[in-house]
Chain A
């Protein structure tokens, strides 16, 4: 926890000094007055104000406790750890048989992560923390699966010369796909639809079409046809 102790003639001055040192705004800190200033008599025995400033932080140990309690209630054995970087927090649950906490394509994991964020940020004004939740390295595995899927579907889109729309995904999952294909020579990606049914569409690039000599004009309707494709390769659960 970031904190500092300051002394100055008045409490208010001490607070201002502290805010500068912490680089924080007034509403982001909590102030504890350690010593009230007293002016003394004729300048003798005068005491400065002494205060301590804390930067208010979301209570991470509370969140850890919450996850541990959920495990206990569900009769699951697991450990909850968290690591903190500058602006995000990562909770990791490790243990046995945690599949039910991950759910179909991470559905339960995402719900739990969402609730964790809501509870963690309850009553916090201004600064909000966002935390990521992972169980048994699921996220990394899912990222890998999505990258493979992206590559496969890009291949399909460019050889079959048509747009392919993927199943609906969460924003962070779509980001993985966009990033995996952003420098792809033959396809472009975009998202369409409204949350939570927003999905990625992979289309062959126009220039690639011209090169192959099978322009969109000669095959009307072909490039706008979309097929829904279920990512069967992501059946890790």
Chain B
């Protein structure tokens, strides 16, 4: 999951070296925190959050496969 989010985010942004994903264990679910270069924020969020939403859907699919619950948060 973490790998997948990192891979997709890197493909989306202009500064792939500054993409960072960290996994935080929550009580019920895991949280993936996505950090990117400030200039790339728009690239991972998209118009009306469409890119962010698509990322969440795909990561969710990956999480289901591993039998886990996961949330994606984009950290500013």
A175 to chain B, nearest CB (A): 19
Within A30-80, which residues are at the interface with B (CB < 8 Å)? 66, 69-70, 73-75
A interface size (C-beta, 8 A): 18
A200 to B11 Cα, complex, angstroms:
35
Interface on chain A toward B: helix, strand, loop, or mixed SS? helix
Binds B, one of A110-118, A179-187, A224-232: A110-118
With a cutoff of 8 Å between Cβ atoms, the chain B residues found around residue A114 in the complex are 50-51, 54
Binds A, one of B1-9, B17-25, B31-39, B68-76: B1-9
Interface on chain B toward A: helix, strand, loop, or mixed SS? helix
With a cutoff of 8 Å between Cβ atoms, the chain B residues found around residue A115 in the complex are 8, 12, 51, 54-55, 58
B60 to chain A, nearest CB (A): 8
**Given A100-B65, A122-B12, A112-B3 contact (CB < 8 Å):** no
Interface residues of A (CB under 8 A from B): 66, 69-70, 73-75, 100-101, 103, 107-108, 111-112, 114-115, 118-119, 122
Apart from A114-B54, A115-B58, 9 more pairs, CB < 8 Å? A70-B7, A100-B64, A101-B61, A108-B57, A108-B61, A111-B57, A115-B54, A118-B51, A122-B12
